[in-house]
Amino acid sequence: MKNKNIFQSIRCAAHGIAECYKNERNFMEYTAIALFFLIFNILLHCAVWEYIVFVALVTAAFSAEFLNTAIERVIDTYDNNINEKNRFIKDAAAGGVLTISAAFFLTEAIILIPKALTLIK
């Protein structure tokens, strides 16, 4: 069934986000990690462009995890058996999450480590 308007679409999307937070522990962990790094960004007085990069990467990581969760649910709904095809699909989707997560951590390290080192000196 197609949504009738943008508000109905937003309501469905918000419901999906809430369900993921309620049923998937990764979302709470990712939120805690994002808040941890946000606090470091604030304490180390990051520039506006650094916050933009932070927001973009956090958004990408959460989006990847939402898609990964949806893919896993589809696989489990139609074929809950563990086989090579299902394993490949789930592992590839998880690989997307890992890739963007690694980019997030590497980027945050590149931005924050030099700032933290100047405080230590």
pLDDT of residue 4: 77
Return d(Cα 11, Cα 3) in angstroms, integer.
10
Query: What domains appear along the chain, each with residue ranges and CATH number?
Result: 25-120 (1.10.287.3610)
pTM: 0.87
Which tens digits make up the pLDDT trace of 11-68?
999 999 999 999 998 999 999 999 999 999 999 999 999 999 999 999 999 999 999 9
User: Which tokens belong to 62?
Assistant: 């959460």
Closest CA to 35 of 58, 18, 53, 16: 58
Which tens digits make up the pLDDT trace of 64-110?
999 999 999 999 998 877 888 899 999 999 999 999 999 999 999 99
Question: Does 2 score more than 80 pLDDT?
Answer: no
